[in-house]
Amino acid sequence: MKDKLIILTGPTAVGKTDLSIRLAKSIDGEIISADSMQIYKDMDIGSAKVEQRFQEEVPHHLIDIISPMDSFTVSEYKSLATEKIKDIISRKKIPIISGGTGLYIDSIICNLDFTEGNKDIDYRNYLENLTKEKGKQYVHGMLKDIDTESYDKIHPNNSKRVIRALEVYHITGKPFSSFKRDNLYDVPYDIYYYALTMNRKDLYDRINKRVDIMMKHGLLEEVTKLKSLGCSENLQSMQGIGYKELLKYLSLDTNLDDAIEDIKQNSRNYAKRQLTWFRKDPRVKYMDKDIYSDEEILNFITKEIKG
């Protein structure tokens, strides 16, 4: 019998954090964050990080694990999250993955190859140099004969992805696209996958209000401090919504009102992309907050899990 693994996701600002904490208390679970911004230390406000008092009530994992100066890969997330899942299960608790970073979630519940071992640095360097010499279109064209699906799906300007697809074929002899099809859902867990939703107008209103609250709580001061510590716009951490826009303001490239409006717009666009991502997985059960209260959703999920 496979061990249970709970996924609770949904677009930004939909209310995942509160429900995940209540769910963990209800089923004796522990929470593993699936948020690509909450992994960073000193980035609390812009990432809407779980307050410390709630982390003390319910164990949370993979929050505040690296410096904003460092990069972090999906492969690293998969490795750390898998370790946490095993540890939680070994203590007779139920792991709950909660967050909105779809790629993090897929790395755990889909049979995808994210291993860092499968790389050839010399070949990658060769392709990078070839891109500089002959252009992105030329290197993208190399995919046509070996992986037509990737050729059609990956934009020529996405050089990093193009090079990765060529590298995977070079190492394995298999098309990059094939790793997404073979036994996609054959994972060692009994998956319970839930996505919170609500009508778009209310969701966008919540997003806009949350940005205003973040600003009142000191988001600008948080970004100012990070900038003073040497965090610049070229860092992976500073690509997060709320951080990149305010760094632009601090560099005198825009005014504050426009920066705040950009944060709201980019957050709304991100929510749309998140909803599109979650729809790809047939295992998802949608919990519509326009129809059901948090209490009803909690009772439904708890009943299913305890089954």
Known binding residues: 10-17
From the list 32, 15, 16, the residue with the least C-alpha distance to 95 is 32
pLDDT of residue 213: 98
Sign of the dihedral through C-alpha 27, 99, 184, 87: negative
The Cα 228–Cα 238 span in angstroms is 13
pLDDT digits (tens, 9 = 90+) for 214-273: 999 999 999 999 999 999 998 999 999 999 999 999 999 899 999 999 999 999 999 999
pLDDT digits (tens, 9 = 90+) for 80-123: 999 999 999 999 999 999 999 998 999 899 877 655 455 677 78
* Host H or E run for residue 116: none
Known binding residues for substrate: 12-17
pLDDT of residue 181: 55
pLDDT of residue 124: 86
What rounded mean pLDDT belongs to the chain?
Answer: 93
The Cα 16–Cα 299 span in angstroms is 15
Residue 151 predicted with pLDDT over 60: yes
Tokens of 155: 């934009």
Known binding residues for ATP: 10-17
Domains located in the chain, CATH noted: 3-112+190-306 (3.40.50.300), 121-179 (1.10.20.140)
Give first-to-last CA distance, the chain, whole Å. Answer: 14
pLDDT of residue 30: 99
Tokens of 307: 């089954």
pLDDT of residue 182: 55
Burial class (CB in 10 A: 0-12, 13-18, 19+), 81: buried
